[in-house]
Structure formats: structure tokens, C-alpha cells
Amino acid sequence: MRVALDITSLDGYALQHGLFRYAVDLIHGLHALGAVGAGGAEFVVVGSKPFPVPELQHIFDPVNTRWQYACLPKMSGHGAYWIEHVRYFPLMRRLRVDVLHSLHGFVPALHGCRLVFTVHDLMPELFPEYAARVESRPYRITQWLAKHRATRLIAISESTANDLRERWNIPDSKIDVVPHGLSPSFSSIAVRTSDLPSKPMDQWFRILSPYNLEPRKNLATLLRAVSLIRNEIEFKLILFGRAACTVDREREVDKLIDSLGIRDCVVKTGYVDDATLASYYQKCDLFVFPSLYEGFGYPLLEAMAFGACVIGRNASAMAEVVGDGGVLVETGDANEIASAMLALARDSNRRRTLSLLAKQRAATFTVHEMARKTFQSYCRAASTSPDALRAPVAADSQLRQSHSTKGAASAANLLDGK
């Protein structure tokens, strides 16, 4: 079985972009699983650049003939969108691809093989600000192709799977739920002790949250919530990053901060690198993620991995990710957020308990499991059961045993989840 992974719309981003990190982690995970025996799976990564992005270059070792790279340059100009739909077909035929995996929001109409499509969320259909996108021809075409041309759909959470069933009428038999795994490139970061200002920051209770001005991220409600506790405890609301910012949105947020009288309580850090963000997660007293809807909720998983005490919404995929590793509230209600923050601020023992539970919960989301379940989806798409594949996948440590009975048995166990 030969699988092509299409990252042409993602390889122009940095790792801080969630979809690109997903692609890199999945490819690393599949590579780490390895292939056993002459009949094992082969992979082709299709990118938009002449050469693989730096994050993936080591995958294409000349000795490792099971991994190839193919370039499909991005097109622009009049008619480019329609040409994109047909030019996958000759490439897939030339590469003798059995299964094409689209990791982003584009499904080619002609591809000449089985197709697996990852659906991250159906957010545009849930919020009025995205109405124009939902009514656009490309969105409606993608929806139709996902229903009628994709062999399997990968949903990154049960929440997204439910949306696919209810909104797109996708049968359950066509959906594979494959949650994200915690990126090893992030979780292995050595936290620097100097990243989070200690003076005078240590004098206050530290509440951490992303600075994302997309309406569904719901930052305004968090600002109203912290204004309700400003006379109860001394705190700093540390807003990291800078996403979905426009002049008008920033003006409105600053106006709200001033009207609530919390200007002296809010710290905007701007963009931070992964090492700094890891330090923020580890040293904050609370991580509050007020988002109203997520296909997965990766920032929650990151924060939990570093032992942050987290508050998220008791709905959509956020409840799946947090589980018993944090506090779930209705984040559309500023009073609920405020009550949860105040209760945790006054109970250090509860925070310590939740910190331990958060780490344990986060450890269950692994890239290894994400890759294994994704490979199972490829097998289903190819109408070949994992057992029928002569040599599916095995861990790197088992690769050396590729011609032994023990190695083959271990590969089967991996696919069975043993």
C-alpha cells in the first residue's frame, strides 16, 4: 500500500500554526512506526516547495526508500482553483498511490485513488461571522466531495464526528475518530526559569490565556470575568500571542479593558516562541481558555502537559480533552468563569491536585496513537484489513526485527492497540 500525504496548503506555515504542527507530527509518527518486510506501506509527502521543509528533511533518508517527496507547486491566478482539482490525478497515477490523505480543507475532485480527508471542525457552520464562507462555492464543493468522493473521513474529536453526522449526514461507518497527540517537539522543551517575569509578577495570582481576537475565542467574556474578581484577589491576566488581530478588533478590546477598569491587571506579551510559552504554562496559577467552540482544543492539551490548572468550556471537544484534568464551565457566562477562577485562587490544594490530574490526562494523547489510528484509517480506505496487509507498521525498535516472526507479530499488535 502506498499512501500520499498532501501538505501543499500547509508547508508555508511555521510550527506555531496548529494545522502545520498536526501535519508534521503525523508524518513523524508514521515514520516512527516504520514498515516491516517487503510488503510494507510506502509513503509520499506531497508539498508545494521544491524540497521538503526543514522539519521533515530527515524523513527522506536515501537509505529509507519507503519515504518519498513530491512537489506540487501552488498555483495562483484566474482558474487556479479549478486546475487544482484535476492536477492531482496524473500525479497520483504516476506515483502509483493507493490512498491520498488530504490533511487540510481541500479535496481534489479527481485524484484516481482512495481518499482520506481530515476534518478539523465545522466551525464556519456554527457562527454567523463565517456565513459568507459557508455560502461560497469552494466550501460547498468541498462539502459535496467529502460526502461523495472521500473514502474515509478522519475527525479529530468525537465533537467533530458528531457534527459530521448531524450537519453533513455522514454515516458513522465512514468516520474514524483520531484525536491529536501532544507534539514531542513541544512537550520535550526544557523550560527556562527566566522566561516569565518573576518580579513583580510573583506578587500576584497569574492567569494565563491566549490573545486571540477571533469572536468565537471569546476573550471579551474573560475580560469581563476578571473584572468581577479584581477586588477579591491581586492578579495579572497574561495574554500571550497575537492572533486574528485587526485594527478595529484591537481598538474594541482596548476600549473594553479601559471601560472595565482592568488596564493595570492585563499584560500583553505579544508573540512568544515555544520555549517561552512552555514556561508560561508551567508557571501560571491558572490557564483559562474561554473559547466557545473548538474542533479539538490543542492549547488546553499543551497547558495540561506542563501541569497548568486549566479552565475550559463544558462543551464541544474541549470537554473531551480536559476530562477530569481541569474545571469545565459555561464560558459564555462571565459569572461562571469568575466563580471558577476565584474558587481555585483560594484553594491551592485543589490547584495542585488538578495540576497532577492534568499531566496524567495529557499523557494519554500521544502522537504514536494518532499515527497508529490514522494508519488504520488508510487500511480501511484501501479496503484491506490491517491483518491482511503483509507488513503494516511497527515501532522503530522493532524495525531491526523486520524479517523475524516476532517483528511481524509486534506490528499486528500495534494495529490492534495492544
Amino acid 414: pLDDT: 40
pLDDT digits 0-9 by tens, 286-341: 999 999 999 999 999 999 999 999 999 999 899 999 999 999 999 999 999 999 99
Which of these, 150, 92, 71, 43, lies nearest to 375 by C-alpha position? 43
Output the average pLDDT for the chain: 87
State whether 274 and 379 are in the same domain.
Answer: no
Residue 17 above 90 pLDDT?
A: no
Cell of 384: 484491506
Q: Determine the Cα–Cα distance for residues 102 and 24; give it in Å rounded to an integer.
A: 13
Among 104, 103, 121, 105, smallest CA distance to 158 is for 121
Q: Judge if 220 and 124 occupy the same domain.
A: no
pLDDT at 383: 81
Q: Which of 34, 70, 37 is nearest to 52 (CA)?
A: 70
Among residues 327, 343, 362, which one ends one of the domains? 362
Please give the tally of structural domains in the chain: 2
Residues 165 and 28 placed together within one structural domain of the fold? yes
Per the structure block, which three cell numbers stand in for 76? 495562483
Do 117 and 146 touch, CB atoms closer than 8 A? yes
| CATH code for position 147 | 3.40.50.2000
> Which structural domain, as residue segments, surrounds residue 172?
2-181+366-416
405 and 333 fall within a common domain? no
Q: Report residue 93's pLDDT band, with 50, 70 and 90 as the boundaries.
A: very high
Residue 402: the pLDDT is 35
Per-residue pLDDT tens digits for 181-211: 998 777 667 555 445 554 445 578 999 999 9
Q: Please say whether the beta carbons of 120 and 67 come within 8 A.
A: no
Q: What is the pTM of this model?
A: 0.86
Q: Are residues 77 and 163 in the same domain?
A: yes
Say whether both 97 and 80 belong to one domain: yes
